[in-house]
Amino acid sequence: MTYSAGEALLKEKIGLDANSIGAGAIANVIAQRMAACKITHISSYLEYLQQSPAEWEALIDIVIVPETWFFREPETFAILQQYISSQWLLKQPQRVLRVLSVPCATGEEPYSIAIALLEAGLSATKIHIDAVDISKQCLLKAQRAIYDRYSFRGNSLDFQWRYFQPTESGYRLREQIKSMVNFIHGNLADPNFLIDQPPYDIIFCRNLLIYFDQAFKEQTLRVLERLITIDGLLFVAHAEAGLLLQTKFNSWRKSSVITYQKMSKQQSLKDKIYLPIKESLAVAPQNKIIVNDLQTNLLETAQAAADRGCLDEAVKLCRKYLNENQMSVEAYVLMGEVQQAMGNNEQAVQYFHKAIYLQPTHKEALTHLALLKEHQGDVASANLLWQRIQRLDQKEA
Ligand SMILES: C[S@@+](CC[C@H](N)C(=O)[O-])C[C@H]1O[C@@H](n2cnc3c(N)ncnc32)[C@H](O)[C@@H]1O
C-alpha cells in the first residue's frame, strides 16, 4: 500500500483533492502522523486510521490549511453591510437574519460577520450566526476567542480597539461579539451537511471549495443551494469566483467582489440576472434580467462573458484585446481569473505574474497569486506575496 491510498481516504472523508496542495504535502503529513504513532508501515497506519476517530482528528488537524484573519477581503464585508442597510433592514426589519460561515477555521470570519452586522445597524437579537469547521482544534481556538497579531492584517484595524482587549495571552474578543456565534463541528463534504437546519439568508463559504475536486465542488454547491433561502446571498473568496459560474446561482459583481444569489425556481440558467460590473448591489433590482447592451469596450465584453460563465468566449475576447493592448494590466488579471475558473492554475499564475510585472502594486493580482501559491502548497512564495500586500496596505494607511 502507498501514500495514494491515504490520499484517496482523505478525499473520501473530507473532500481534499491531493492536487490542490500537492501529493507530496499529503505524504509528508501522513509520515508525520506515522512517526507520532510510532507506526512504520503505511498499511498499518491506514488500518489504524480507519479504526481510530481520534487519529482522524489528529490527521485532519495537520492536513488542513487554517489560514484566516479578521475582515479578510474587506470589500466583502462592506458589501454585506450595504446589503443589510439598503435592503434587509428596509424589507425585513423584524426577521432574524440567519447566517452560516463554513468553514469558519479559528473564528475570525464569523466574528467579523457579527461585527459587520452590528455596525450595519442590526441588533444582536436579530442575528443568528452558525459557524462550522471540520477541525475541532480550530473550533476550540475559535471558542476561546483570543488572537495574536497574525489575525489582524491590512490597514483598517480600527475595530481592534473597539472589540478586543489586549491581555498577556493575546487580544481577547469582547463577550458581546463572542456570544453571537454558535460553533458547530461539521463536514461540508458530507451530502447531509446540516440537513436539519432551516435555511440561511447569508452564507459565507470562502477558501474551501478550491481544495475540493470537481465532483465534490458540485456536490457542495448542491448542499449550499439546499441551505440557502431564495434571495439568500452567498459569498465566496475572490479566488473561487469562477467556480460558481454556470451554477444555479446568479452573480452580482461589485468592484472586486462577486456575490451570488440563488435563482428562483422560475428562472433558468439562461435567465441569470446579470449586472454590469459597476452596477451597485444596493440598487440592483431583484429578479430582473438586465441585458448589458452598453458594452463598448472589448475588455468589458470579455469581463461580461466571464461573469456569464462563457469562459471560452471570454478568453477569445481577452486575447483579441491583448493583441491591441499588450500593456493592459486589467486584461492580464482578467485572463488570470478566467484561466483559474477553467482550472488552468499554471496559466493563471503566468497571467497574474504578467500583471504584477507591469504594475508591481496591483493588489488584486498579488492576492490572486498569493492564494494560488498557497493552494499549490508553495507556502514560502505565498508568504512573500502576503508580506508584499501587507506593506502596500501599510503604505496606504
Ligand atoms: C483557509 S481556511 C478558511 C477560513 C475562512 N473561511 C477564510 O476564508 O478565512 C480553511 C478551513 O477549512 C476547513 N475545512 C477543510 N475541509 C473541510 C470540510 N470538509 N468541512 C468543513 N471544513 C473544512 C479547515 O479546517 C480550515 O479551517
Q: Would you write out the chain's pLDDT as a tens digit for each of its 397 residues?
A: 577 888 999 999 999 988 888 768 889 999 999 999 999 999 999 999 999 999 999 999 999 989 999 999 898 999 999 999 999 999 888 999 999 999 999 999 999 999 999 999 999 999 999 999 999 999 999 999 999 989 998 778 889 989 999 999 999 999 999 999 999 999 999 999 999 999 999 999 999 998 888 888 889 999 999 999 988 899 998 777 766 655 667 766 665 566 777 765 444 333 332 232 223 333 333 322 223 323 347 888 888 777 666 788 889 999 988 888 888 888 999 899 888 878 788 899 999 999 998 888 888 888 888 878 877 778 788 888 888 887 887 777 6
Our answer on whether the CB atom of 20 is closer than 6 Å to any ligand 1 atom is no
Long-range CB contacts for residues 360-363, cutoff 8 Å, separation at least 24: 361/392, 362/329, 362/333, 363/389, 363/392
Our answer on whether the CB atom of 105 is closer than 6 Å to any ligand 1 atom is yes
Our answer on whether the CB atom of 110 is closer than 6 Å to any ligand 1 atom is no
H or E segment to which residue 97 belongs: strand 97-101
Our answer on whether the CB atom of 15 is closer than 6 Å to any ligand 1 atom is yes
Q: How far apart are the CA of 188 and the centre of ligand 1, in A?
A: 9
CA-closest residue to ligand 1 atom 12: 103
Q: Let me know: does 349 contact 369? Beta carbons within 8 Å.
A: yes
Our answer on whether the CB atom of 133 is closer than 6 Å to any ligand 1 atom is yes
Of ligand 1's listed atoms, the one at least distance from the Cα of 15 is 19
Our answer on whether the CB atom of 67 is closer than 6 Å to any ligand 1 atom is yes
Q: How far apart are CA 274 and CA 253, in angstroms?
A: 9
For the CA atoms of the chain, what is the radius of gyration? 21
Q: How far apart are the CA of 314 and the centre of ligand 1, in A?
A: 30
Our answer on whether the CB atom of 6 is closer than 6 Å to any ligand 1 atom is no
pLDDT of 223: 95
Q: How far apart are CA 368 and CA 362, in angstroms?
A: 10
Q: How far apart are the CA of 65 and the centre of ligand 1, in A?
A: 7
Nearest CA among 160, 154, 102 for reference residue 131: 102
CA-closest residue to ligand 1 atom 10: 66
Q: Which three cell numbers stand for residue 262?
A: 440563488
Burial (CB < 10 A; 0-12, 13-18, 19+), residue 381, is middle
Residue listed under C-alpha cell 484561466: 339
Of ligand 1's listed atoms, the one at least distance from the Cα of 237 is 8
Our answer on whether the CB atom of 21 is closer than 6 Å to any ligand 1 atom is no
Plot region of 38 (φ>0 → left; ψ -120 to 50 → alpha; else → beta): left
pLDDT of 308: 66
Q: How far apart are the CA of 329 and the centre of ligand 1, in A?
A: 31
pLDDT of 263: 63
Q: How far apart are the CA of 69 and the centre of ligand 1, in A?
A: 12
pLDDT of 303: 81
Backbone angles phi, psi at 5, to 5 degrees: -70, -35
Our answer on whether the CB atom of 135 is closer than 6 Å to any ligand 1 atom is yes
pLDDT of 281: 33
